[in-house]
A = this chain, B = another copy of it.
Amino acid sequence: MLEPVVCVHGGAWDIPENLWTDSIEGVKLAARRGYQVLDDGGSVVDAAEAAVVVLEDCPAFDAGKGSVLTYDEEVEMDAIIMRGSGLEAGAVAAIRNIANPVKVARLIMEKSPHILLAGEGANKFAEAHGVKQVDPDTLVTPDARLELEKYKTFNKAVYSLFNKSDQKGCDTVGCVVVGSSGATAAATSTGGITAKMPGRVGDSPIVGAGAYADDQTGAVSTTGHGESIIKVCLARHIVSLIEKGQTPKDSIRDSLQYMESRVKGFGGAIAVSRIGQVATHFSTPRMPWAYVKARQLHFGMHPDQHCTEEL
């Protein structure tokens, strides 16, 4: 029996100061919630889903409520959930009018023969399984409107979103869990990037890019510049290094360095190993994270910041 861990992140990017408090409070709440579910006898997948639902419901993050807007001023969300036993996965891409995309991802994993459903098909599946549609306006925050307005006003090419100095709105959320028996799960959810083209699928719903969970190794959730993460299969890359015997911390750091050297991309990740190690790391200015292990709550957001609290 090992100490179970529930670890979450709120996205790797240059978070402005006005979001610092809400971001930290959000990840702390989500980690506590996930751990509570595990403590109450829930599965690692239950815990990962519950933690991500908290983050999707928090408007400070670009996922669920608080998602950024596409160029056509709509919310289109991506999410994934993965169970490390059997490498099972479910995911949605460019889904609309749903409060908690991670719940639909889980339904796909458990109630369909497929892994990824996109666009209208994802919405049809959700409807067929009793998931309530919400008014799209309930997902949109004034900040998301302002952000898109700013991009349109300055008539910036979407390309300009992607250099480090101007990286915005990559506050994807995610969770990794390892239970006392070594079972693992991972989940990631996002609204994507401001002014993205309609139908754009980022890294988050891609197995091996936005998340990976394998009970033989560990679980990972990533965040950052989606197209870069896709190109290097970041989540699978991190898991491969854990598989080789590296610590989760070194595995994330080496993989982020690999991504930077190969495609000049920045991001962050959280990881747990099947033996109960946990790590968070990022190459962006900030990434809010929190985890619970041995009834201690750990959290931080700035590089090298590590705070602890009794649960």
Contacts and interface: CB of A to CB of B under 8 A. Distances in A.
Given A86-B263, A207-B233, A262-B87, A119 B121 contact: yes
A245 to B, nearest CB: 15
A158 B113 contact: yes
Interface stretch (A10-18, A136-144, A176-184, A198-206): A198-206
Nearest to A201: B116
A116 B240 contact: no
Contact residues of A: prevailing secondary structure: mixed
Interface string A194-232: 001111110000111100000000000000001100111
Given A89-B231, A207-B209, A159 B198 contact: no
A199 B233 contact: no
A247 to B, nearest CB: 20
Interface in A67-122: 86-89, 93-94, 112-122
Interface of A: 86-89, 93-94, 112-122, 124-125, 157-159, 161-162, 196-201, 206-209, 226-227, 230-233, 236, 240, 262-263
13 contacts: A89-B230, A114-B196, A114-B197, A115-B201, A115-B226, A117-B197, A118-B201, A119-B199, A121-B199, A201-B201, A207-B230, A207-B233, A240-B240
